[in-house]
């Protein structure tokens, strides 16, 4: 089996501009993609935009423009955000692209050929904001008698002719899938929610709409457009050309696919999506990971509250790597968390400026000042130092397991434990007291500290690629082909000619 790995973010709706929640999912996915590539895995990372459906059509009407014009305008903003976030994505798919439309239609035909699609009438609740059909029992009744969804969105009652997918037929197969593959849905708490949902009884799913026309036309019945989720989910394999051609150049990536999503859209990915693929006789993804929800200073982030955090603004103010670090470090990946400026500033000042920045600054400046800018040799290294320097290499397997379980913040904590050990090492040996009295010991402390800084530079690459590049550049190491091999690069006698502060403190 080829050493391939496919990882995706959700494809984001273009009814509005991106906010911090989108940036979060993308950064976390980028972290995993970069880590996998460093581990020598051929990684294909997909992101993109979801451009059909009633929500987009309504937003376009509101702005008095054609839906495609709205899509073009806002899709570019998501693409620009991907650049700004320094995402290492291999593809950016738009659901208005022909390659996607053909793949989505082909998926529909496969479901139809398997006799899983039939025409009937839908009568029930629909949330345009979530683009989701809801059973009344899954809605929250408010004091004024109206209903809202668990995501807080309003619902409307709709009645229209619709094609249905025989979702109910797949209940047992889905439960078997979850049972046979305990890591198919992570984290575990969310897996349990999905299992309860399926066990509570699946109804057939409406998979077309005919009261508006902004979507992919149903093959052979142009009065209907495909339900936007059936359309959108197929974008993942369509990026690889897999639905149209299982033997396409990139199709083999599909056999090892991981979808990173927010908890709001887990049901679509963990229930509808595998059922569609089972019906179409296509391979299933290997893992669906649902992360938690960010609030802003304790409040739900929503357009109506006017409190959406603009990633462009916050990055301009605090720096990209600072924001990447904060988002990945602040909360357990999978749990909810709160975005507060005080927490952001304290992470920047304590973890980045003090712990990492000062470690580099004070130790490497000593090399520049007292060692003719040259990293000392390691002739005097003792067993205790050797053990310290081999810690990261020895822990690599354990760190990889953390990433396979999506435990990103624990990975970061472990790297910061090493930074703290390095600071302690430097403080305990007090090289400033040794520089005249014991040159051998002085050189040794500076060598060991510089080497551990180099290793930290390698390990922070998935978190903060720009900072990683800056640190490795101190030692003249280029990161074009970054891999864990760089942990072993010998830096003795390397010339260091410029030490720039990494993270200015913030007020
Ligand atoms: O659902 N906290 O697109 P979308 C954390 N087009 N993550 C958040 C967040 C928050 N407050 N707000 C949004 C869609 N997200 C569909 C997906 S995939 C085939 C189709 C992130 O623009 C999170 O990943 O509404 C969430 O699942 C996603 O943005 C929803 O993006």
pLDDT digits (tens, 9 = 90+) for 229-287: 999 999 999 999 999 999 999 999 999 999 999 999 999 999 999 999 999 999 999 99
Ligand 1 mean position, distance from CA 111 (Å):
27
164 lines ligand 1 (CB under 6 A): no
pLDDT of residue 306: 81
321 lines ligand 1 (CB under 6 A): no
Nearest CA owner, ligand 1 atom 4: 12
Candidate of 7, 16, 25 to mutate for ligand 1, largest count of ligand atoms within 8 Å of Cβ = 25
Instruction: Identify the CA nearest to 21 among candidates 343, 288, 292.
Output: 292
265 lines ligand 1 (CB under 6 A): yes
Nearest CA owner, ligand 1 atom 28: 262
155 lines ligand 1 (CB under 6 A): no
Nearest CA owner, ligand 1 atom 10: 21
Gap between the Cα atoms of 178 and 192, Å rounded: 10
> 391: helix, coil or strand?
helix
- What are the C-alpha distances in Å from 92 to residues 33, 112, 489? 15, 29, 35
Candidate of 10, 152, 276, 297 to mutate for ligand 1, largest count of ligand atoms within 8 Å of Cβ = 10
Nearest CA owner, ligand 1 atom 3: 12
pLDDT of residue 344: 97
11 lines ligand 1 (CB under 6 A): yes
Neighbours of 47 (CB within 10 A): 28
Ligand 1 mean position, distance from CA 293 (Å):
9
10 CA closest ligand 1 atom index: 18
The CATH T-level fold of domain 4-292 is: Rossmann fold (3.40.50)
Q: Where are the domains of the chain?
A: 4-292, 341-488
Ligand 1 mean position, distance from CA 413 (Å):
26
pLDDT of residue 327: 98
Length of the chain: 507
Displacement of CA 279 from its chain's centroid (Å)? 28
261 lines ligand 1 (CB under 6 A): yes
* CA torsion angle 29 34 36 42 (round to 10): 100
Per residue of the chain (507 residues), give pLDDT as tens: 569 999 999 999 999 999 999 999 999 999 999 999 999 999 999 999 999 999 999 999 999 999 999 999 999 999 999 999 999 999 999 999 999 999 999 999 999 999 999 999 999 999 999 999 999 988 999 999 899 998 888 999 999 999 999 999 999 999 999 999 999 999 999 999 999 999 999 999 999 999 999 999 999 999 999 999 999 999 999 999 999 999 999 999 999 999 999 999 999 999 999 999 999 999 999 999 999 999 998 888 876 678 889 999 999 999 999 999 999 999 999 999 999 999 999 999 999 999 999 999 999 999 999 999 999 998 889 999 999 999 999 999 999 999 999 999 999 999 999 999 999 999 999 999 999 999 999 999 999 999 999 999 999 999 999 999 999 999 999 888 889 999 999 999 999 977 889 999 999
430: left (phi over 0), alpha (psi -120 to 50) or beta: left
Gap between the Cα atoms of 217 and 239, Å rounded: 20
Gap between the Cα atoms of 198 and 100, Å rounded: 29
pLDDT of residue 299: 85
Nearest CA owner, ligand 1 atom 26: 262
Burial track 420-445 (b if 16+ CB lie within 10 A, e otherwise): eebbebbeebebeebbeeeeebbbbb
Gap between the Cα atoms of 230 and 94, Å rounded: 14
264 lines ligand 1 (CB under 6 A): yes
12 CA closest ligand 1 atom index: 22
51 lines ligand 1 (CB under 6 A): no
295 CA closest ligand 1 atom index: 11
CATH class of 341-488: mainly alpha
* CA torsion angle 259 263 268 272 (round to 10): 80
252 lines ligand 1 (CB under 6 A): no
pLDDT of residue 304: 67
12 lines ligand 1 (CB under 6 A): yes
13 lines ligand 1 (CB under 6 A): yes
92 lines ligand 1 (CB under 6 A): no
pLDDT of residue 307: 86
Instruction: Identify the CA nearest to 255 among candidates 504, 20, 6.
Output: 6
Nearest CA owner, ligand 1 atom 16: 12
Nearest CA owner, ligand 1 atom 7: 21
318 lines ligand 1 (CB under 6 A): no
The two tokens of residue 103 are 């793949």
Location of structure tokens 């496919």: 6
Confirm whether 4-292 and 341-488 share one CATH topology: no
Ligand 1 mean position, distance from CA 261 (Å):
7
């Amino acid at each position: 089996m080829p050493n391939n790995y496919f990882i995706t973010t959700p494809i984001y709706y273009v009814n509005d501009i991106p906010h911090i929640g989108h940036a979060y999912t993308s950064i976390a996915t980028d972290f995993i993609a970069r880590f996998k590539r460093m581990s020598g895995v051929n990684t294909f990372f997909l992101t993109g935009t979801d451009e059909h459906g009633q929500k987009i059509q309504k937003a376009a009407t509101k702005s008095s423009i054609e839906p495609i014009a709205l899509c073009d305008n806002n899709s570019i903003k998501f693409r620009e955000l991907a650049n700004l976030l320094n995402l290492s994505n291999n593809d950016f798919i738009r659901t208005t692209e022909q390659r996607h439309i053909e793949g989505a239609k082909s998926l529909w035909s496969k479901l139809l050929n398997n006799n899983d699609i039939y025409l009937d009438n839908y009568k029930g609740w629909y949330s345009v904001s979530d683009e989701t059909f809801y059973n009344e029992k899954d809605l929250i009744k408010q004091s004024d008698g109206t209903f809202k969804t668990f995501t807080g969105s309003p619902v409307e009652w709709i009645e229209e002719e619709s094609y249905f997918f025989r979702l109910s037929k797949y209940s047992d197969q889905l439960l078997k899938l979850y049972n046979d593959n305990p890591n198919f849905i992570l984290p575990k708490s969310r897996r349990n929610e999905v299992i309860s949902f399926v066990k509570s009884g699946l109804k057939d799913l409406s998979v077309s709409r005919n009261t508006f026309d902004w979507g992919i036309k149903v093959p052979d019945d142009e009065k209907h457009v495909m339900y936007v989720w059936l359309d959108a989910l197929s974008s993942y394999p369509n990026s690889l050309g897999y639905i149209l051609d299982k033997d396409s150049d990139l199709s083999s990536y599909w056999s090892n696919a991981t979808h990173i999503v927010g908890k709001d859209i887990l049901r679509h990915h963990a229930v509808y999506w595998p059922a569609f693929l089972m019906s179409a006789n296509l391979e299933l993804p290997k893992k669906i990971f649902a992360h938690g929800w960010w609030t802003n200073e304790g409040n739900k982030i929503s357009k109506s509250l006017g409190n959406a955090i603009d990633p462009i603004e916050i990055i301009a103010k605090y720096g990209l790597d600072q924001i990447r670090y904060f988002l990945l470090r602040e909360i357990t990946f999978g749990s909810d968390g709160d975005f507060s400026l005080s927490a952001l500033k304290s992470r920047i000042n304590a973890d980045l400026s003090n712990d990492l920045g000062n470690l580099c600054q004070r130790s490497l400046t000593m090399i520049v000042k007292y060692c003719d800018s040259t990293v000392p040799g390691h002739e005097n290294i003792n067993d205790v130092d050797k053990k310290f320097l081999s810690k990261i290499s020895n822990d690599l397997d354990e760190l990889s397991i953390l990433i396979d379980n999506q435990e990103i913040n624990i990975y970061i904590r472990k790297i910061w434990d090493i930074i703290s050990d390095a600071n302690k090492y430097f403080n305990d040996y007090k090289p400033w007291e040794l520089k005249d009295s014991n040159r051998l010991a002085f050189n040794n402390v500076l060598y060991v500290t510089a080497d551990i800084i180099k290793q930290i530079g390698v390990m922070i690459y998935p978190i903060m690629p720009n900072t990683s590049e800056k640190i490795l550049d101190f030692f003249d190491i280029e990161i074009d082909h970054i891999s864990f091999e760089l942990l072993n690069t010998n830096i003795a006698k390397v010339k260091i000619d410029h030490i720039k502060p990494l993270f200015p403190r913030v007020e």
